[in-house]
């Protein structure tokens, strides 16, 4: 931390003051815009969630306090969506981290074909999520799909299953579609972390006679932890908001409805503005609580960043 930043206010030069004024003027437009497009809507959602709106008469509403929340929290639908969302997030994020770490280790080696591998790995990132869903639908389509056909040819179970028609199978397709599209992201974050580990660290380990596996377990992995945690945070926040994949693949059928989907259904399809808003606020709170837990327990380094910025 520099000495200058320790003494704000007193003895500040005119240029310092001009700079601070400019900083405020340059950030104000963005902050005002963000207040308008983020804070105002969320505030309004809270208000909507405290009211009940007539489905028949437009504009007719009454204040009901927390009733929409108690209804939602007492409904099995919410808890089913809650459970499914966490199941999806747990499965997809763990697969993405393991696979992403393996890909990153591979991409960090100098071998013939590394550039090609990096390009190929990045490709699914170019795909929009809706298309990723459709791609995996074609893979698992009964009769038409590659996976279903290969499974039947090998006489393995799953060949004659309507994958999107049964809960466990449908969830597997949704998880696969997510892993396919977003593992590159996890891999690249972890690769960036891998590239700043000094080569000397490995040389020292080599001198001490550590094996490859030991080096990975006791040196690489601990040093990689910040990058893995960061990837985990980004991916988890995204996975808890999942919407596109189940929307396209199952429309939420067969117990694959996520929290965001449930709120959407109540709001758009059932026209229950109050209850839909309460569900979206509950989704919002769930995601916030998880991110706070992450940063509190796993993200020591992220708090360091905040300190460093001051």
Partner 1 sequence: MSTLTTQRPTTADPATRRRAPKRRLRGEAKLHPLAWVFVVAVMGFSLIPFYWLVNTSLKKGASLSKGELFPGEPSFGNYLAVFQNAEFLVALRNSVIIAVVTTTVALVFASCAAYALARLKMRRKAMILTLILSVTTFPAIAIAAPMFSIWREIGLYDTLLGLIIPKLTFALPLAIYMLTSFFKEIPRELEESAYMDGASPFTAFRKVILPLAVPGLATAAILVFISVWNEFLLAVTLTTSPEARPVPVAIAFFSGTSEFDQPLGTISAASVIITVPLVILVLLCQKRIVSGMTAGAVKG
Six token digits for residue 257: 């409805």
Which segment (4-12, 66-74, 76-84, 90-98) binds partner 1 by CB under 8 A? 4-12
Q: Show the tokens assigned to 274.
A: 């109050």
Q: In the range 173-192, which residues lie near partner 1 by CB under 8 A? A: 180, 185, 188-189, 191-192
Give the one residue of 10, 14, 156, 308 binding partner 1; rule: CB under 8 A.
308
- Using the rule CB under 8 A, which residue among 71, 75, 108, 215 binds partner 1? 108
Whose tokens are 């509950």? That residue is: 282
Distances (CA, A) of 166 to 63, 172, 280, 289, 299: 41, 10, 27, 31, 38
**Residues numbered 266-295 forming contacts with partner 1, rule: CB under 8 A:** 267-268, 273, 276-277, 279-281, 283-284, 287-288, 291
State yes or no: residue 76 binds partner 1 (CB under 8 A). no
Q: What is the nearest approach in angstroms of partner 1 to the Cβ of residue 91?
A: 16
Examine residue 135 and tell whether it contacts partner 1 (CB under 8 A).
yes
Most distant pair of Cα atoms in the chain: their distance: 81
Cβ pair 266, 259 in contact under 8 A = no
**Smallest distance from partner 1 to CB 74, Å:** 20
The site string for partner 1 over 18-47 (x = CB under 8 A, - otherwise) reads xxx-xxx-xx-xxx-xx--xx--xx-xx--
Cα–Cα distances in Å, from 170 out to 32, 51, 165, 189, 261?
A: 43, 36, 7, 29, 16
Q: What's the Cα-to-Cα distance from 26 to each of 5, 21, 161, rounded to whole Å?
A: 20, 9, 58
Question: Which distant-in-sequence residues (6+ apart) come within 8 Å of 188 by Cβ?
Answer: 104, 122
Number of residues in contact with partner 1, rule: CB under 8 A?
Answer: 116
Binding string, 201-220, against partner 1, x = CB under 8 A? Answer: -x------------------
User: Binding of partner 1 at residue 92 (CB under 8 A)?
Assistant: no
């Amino acid at each position: 931390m520099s000495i200058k930043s320790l003494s704000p206010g007193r003895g500040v030069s005119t240029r310092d003051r001009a700079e601070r004024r400019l900083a405020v003027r340059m950030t104000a437009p963005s902050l005002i815009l963000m207040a308008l497009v983020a804070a105002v809507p969320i505030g309004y959602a809270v208000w909507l969630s405290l009211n009940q709106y007539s489905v028949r008469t437009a504009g007719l509403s009454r204040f009901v306090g927390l009733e929409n929340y108690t209804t939602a929290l007492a409904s099995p639908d919410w808890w089913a969506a809650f459970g499914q969302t966490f199941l999806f997030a747990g499965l997809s994020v763990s697969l993405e981290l393991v696979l992403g770490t393996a890909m990153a280790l591979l991409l960090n080696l100098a071998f013939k074909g590394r550039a090609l591998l990096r390009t190929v790995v990045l490709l699914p990132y170019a795909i929009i999520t809706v298309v990723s869903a459709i791609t995996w639908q074609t893979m698992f389509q009964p009769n038409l799909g590659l996976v279903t056909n290969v499974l039947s040819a090998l006489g393995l179970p799953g060949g004659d299953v309507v994958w999107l028609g049964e809960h466990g199978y449908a969830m597997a397709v949704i998880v696969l579609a997510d892993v396919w599209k977003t593992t590159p992201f996890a891999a690249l974050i972890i690769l960036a972390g891998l590239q700043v580990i000094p080569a000397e660290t490995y040389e020292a380990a080599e001198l001490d006679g550590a094996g490859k596996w030991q080096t990975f377990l006791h040196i690489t992995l601990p040093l990689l932890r910040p990058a893995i945690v960061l990837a985990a945070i980004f991916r988890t926040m995204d996975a808890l908001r999942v919407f596109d994949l189940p929307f396209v693949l199952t429309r939420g059928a067969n117990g694959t409805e996520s929290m965001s989907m449930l709120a959407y259904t109540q709001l758009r399809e059932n026209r229950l503005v109050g209850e839909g808003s309460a569900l979206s606020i509950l989704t919002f709170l769930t995601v916030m609580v998880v991110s706070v837990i992450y940063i509190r327990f796993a993200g020591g380094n992220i708090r360091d960043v905040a300190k460093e910025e001051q």
